Structure 1
Amino acid sequence: MKLQSIKLVYFSPTGTTKTVVESVMRGIDADSIKLERIDLTKPATRQKPLQTGENDLLLVGVPVYMGRVPEVVQAWLQSIKAQNTPAVCIVVYGNRDYGDALIELKDILAADGCLPIAAGAFIGEHSFSSAETPIAADRPDLRDISQAEAFGCKIKDKLDAIQSVAEIGGLNVPGEFPYRGETKLWDVDFITVNSDCNQCQLCADICPAGAIDVENSRLINQEKCITCCTCIKNCPQQARTIKHGPVHDASVRLNTLFKEPKQPELFY
């Protein structure tokens, strides 16, 4: 099957999902094909609709939030207008459980008009991970990246083996419907900003939810905040940390209960 373009779509506040989907893309090795990257981490991108056809490949990656596709990107994903577009579904989770996120992502894309041909659940460092309570620290690692590239190679082989989208069969992935878990995230004051903050406003610029005041970065809209911790992990002054409370307690539980490294699960 000959592709005209590949649409690489990802929501990746802390960069782990982006690393995985870019690694899969390298495995597909489609240098001669037009590539479009669509970074849903930027709020402005989520205002632009997407249309795809049967000669495109749609590769979508999202992190797992509470065992589900993040609510902040659901409406955009559901608005995709596809016409028998081959699609690859990827979720990235913090070594606990990917719940029903993979089947939910597959169902969303299928309802849009896509034909899912492959899916994968990969591990990335948890957003609550810290030096004090590491959770899947430094994942995806070199082995994860190698597996993602190999996954891309198999996707390429599968596409090369068919003449048209009519040959794409059904794809089965783990999960239940109705989906379990909550899409609504915590409304909690969990970030401490210390005196090292120099109001550089980087955190406000990179916040995927627009939850940080653009004039005073110490002010956080808790209702908008999605607890992704990208502002904490990217602060150049290391002025932001998780304060003691529900999020810190959750990080301790995750660090204690989920130390055994899980491995990617792939489906074709």
Structure 2
Amino acid sequence: MNVDSVTAVYFSPTGTSRKITEGIVKGIKPARSNVVDLTDAERRMMPLHVSEKDLLVVAVPVYMGRVPALVTEWLSTLTARKTPVVCVVVYGNRVYDNALLELKDTLAARGCVPVAGAAYVGEHSFSSEEIPVAHGRPDSSDLAHAEAFGRAVRDKMDAVADSSAMPELHVAGSRPYEGMTTLWDVDFIEVADSCTQCGVCAQICPLGAIDTQNSALVDIAQCITCCACIKRCPQQARSIKPSLVKDASLRLNKLFSAPKQPENFL
């Protein structure tokens, strides 16, 4: 089965899922590729229609061991027809629980044919220089692994006539998925006096939770604790203050310091 065109779909507030996706697509080496960045709220308003001639690569972060609710909501609008799909989850070195299985099941229910799955480690959203959790991941080794995985996906696609000839894909996980798909409503962001009100944080927030006129104002009901505003602040004026999030970062740093490695399912 020829792989001429790849549509890469990812939700990636801090860039980790995007980097892994780019590595996989580089390994697949299609003639054409298209990107659907679900981090953009406007893009999430647009459904996607794909056919058996497309290859999808869908990468999402793991939140509380699950696929984020806002991603699942968008996936419910996906229209596919025997479309081969590579399912990818990116997690912060804790566990990915049943998220990969959930993603696979969700995409299969929309008309996709899962052909491969993978779990990669990305720097945890709660990670900081003070309290690192998978700091710097994905690193060069992870990205090389992702590219090699992409080549293996292409080899698997080349070995069959069409997606209907694909054997059933088995990935790690169990049903029911359990866990939570929504996050805490918690006030955890501290804004220092060095904030210049440049508006970058409000612009990059995937849920529009930051006031455009006063960046210290955060709608905690909308916030998904992705920490993109903290990690990408040009003035480094935002940080995690004492809170449930700070406590969680300390636990993660203590309990999950040993680096975990990518897992592939083909």
Give the TM-score taking structure 1 as reference length.
0.98
Q: CA deviation at 1:5?
A: 2.2
RMSD: 0.8
Q: 2:80 and 2:114 mapped to 1: Cα distance?
A: 12
Q: 1:221: which partner in 2?
A: 219
Q: 5+ unaligned residues in a row in structure 2: which ranges?
A: none
Q: How does 1:119-130 map to 2 (within 5 A)?
A: 119-130=117-128
Contact 1:103 1:173 survives alignment (8 Å):
yes
Q: 1:59 and 1:242 mapped to 2: Cα distance?
A: 33
Q: 2:56: which partner in 1?
A: 58
Letter in 1 for 2:56: L
Deviations 1:162-198, CA, capped at 9 Å, x for gaps: 1111211111111111112111200000000011111
Q: 1:240: which partner in 2?
A: 238
Letter in 1 for 2:177: Y
| Runs of 4+ deviating beyond 4 Å | none
Describe the SS at the equivalent of 1:82. coil
Q: 1:166 and 1:104 mapped to 2: Cα distance?
A: 21
Number of positions where the alignment pairs a residue of Structure 1 with one of Structure 2: 266
Q: CA deviation at 1:4?
A: 4.6
Contact 2:117 2:264 survives alignment (8 Å):
yes
Q: CA deviation at 1:35?
A: 1.1
Describe the SS at the equivalent of 1:52. coil
Letter in 1 for 2:256: F
Partner of residue 75 from structure 1, selected from 73, 76, 84: 73
Q: How does 1:157-236 map to 2 (within 5 A)?
A: 157-236=155-234
Q: 1:184 and 1:261 mapped to 2: Cα distance?
A: 26
Describe the SS at the equivalent of 2:161. coil
Letter in 2 for 1:133: I
Deviations 1:188-221, CA, capped at 9 Å, x for gaps: 0000001111110000000011100111111100
Q: 5+ unaligned residues in a row in structure 1: which ranges?
A: none
Partner of residue 90 from structure 2, selected from 72, 92, 95: 92
Give the TM-score taking structure 2 as reference length.
0.99
Q: CA deviation at 1:2?
A: 2.1
Q: 1:220 and 1:37 mapped to 2: Cα distance?
A: 29
Q: 2:24: which partner in 1?
A: 24
Contact 2:6 2:25 survives alignment (8 Å):
no
Residues 1:150 and 2:170 aligned together: no
Q: Does 120-129 or 209-218 show the bigger shift?
A: 209-218
